[in-house]
Amino acid sequence: MTDRPSTTKGRRPRTRLRRRVSGAIALALALGTVGVAYATVAAAATPKAQVASNAPSEDPVEIRKGRQLFEQGCITCHGRNLQGVQDRGPSLIGVGEAAVYFQVATGRMPVARQEAQVERKEPYYDEAETLQIAAYVQSVGGGAEIPTGNLRGSDENLAEGGELFRLNCASCHNFAGRGGALSAGKYAPPMDQANDLTIWTAMLTGPQNMPVFGDNQLTEEQKQAITNYVQTLKEQGDPGGAPIGRMGPVPEGLVAWVVGIGAIMLMILWIGAKS
């Protein structure tokens, strides 16, 4: 009977030690699991540089096909002679093939109903049909042409592109091209789905609330630099894992803290239940 207290006292330190070691191991495993899971999530890559060589043809046959498509799907809102229809659609005189390409290739046209913002959707026409419609509109009203050639320039212009983007585009599209809200239910769309040609045609034509960036505002080399910067942002994955909107270390740390603390609490409860 006299030895029992000493035996109990000898066991308690070992029990406490085992619990502390188990807790430390569980904490290390939880933090390691969170870190590995976070680091394995990478941003999806986008297509490489686009060399635009698919300008609308001046072939009368292609223009005739474009007219047929226009009369089937566009004439109700834009009029027989592209003059527009009141309360339905604007005139297309002078908008050019670049505007047609942007609106049709991104699925914004034809539009189902009038809203504050015309959203991007799956294109109704394929690439060939889009170019045929663009060729017809260009033959009637003229305007900005679809660019051809290398639309990104060289990698040497990347820093300049970032500076130009932040100066001219970031106030609406977010500094990482994620888009942003505007007034009266409108918004600047995210640029994650935009390819080189749609970025260029948007700058040339100024769709919806976007201003027109002609050669007097941005030279061709500057447009190449901006396009290169935007597409490089999408192609480069963050070394730390998921970009979380590229909003910096604060939201990333918050997510890691919430997930990490949650995992630790679950491990603590599990250990407590086993004990």
The single-letter code of the amino acid at 5 is: P
pLDDT the model gives residue 26: 67
CATH superfamily entry for domain 54-147: Cytochrome c-like domain (1.10.760.10)
Q: What is the CATH number of domain 34-51+152-193+209-275?
A: 1.10.760
Model confidence band, residue 187 (pLDDT cutoffs 50, 70, 90): very high
pLDDT the model gives residue 195: 95
pLDDT the model gives residue 253: 72
- pTM value is 0.70
Mean pLDDT of the chain: 83
Residue closest to 176 by CA, chosen among 186, 164, 187, 162: 162
Selected residue with higher pLDDT from 216 and 240: 216
Residue closest to 231 by CA, chosen among 148, 142, 161, 156: 161
Least confident of 21-35, 170-184, 220-234: 21-35
The answer to whether the 34-51+152-193+209-275 and 54-147 domains have the same CATH topology is: yes
Mean pLDDT, to the nearest integer, of 21-49? 57
User: Where do runs of H (alpha helix) occur along 74-168?
Assistant: 75-78, 96-105, 127-141, 158-168
Domain boundaries, given as residue ranges, for the chain: 34-51+152-193+209-275, 54-147
The answer, yes or no, to whether residue 162 has pLDDT greater than 90, is yes
The answer, yes or no, to whether residue 1 has pLDDT greater than 70, is no
pLDDT the model gives residue 272: 79
Residue closest to 218 by CA, chosen among 173, 157, 176: 157
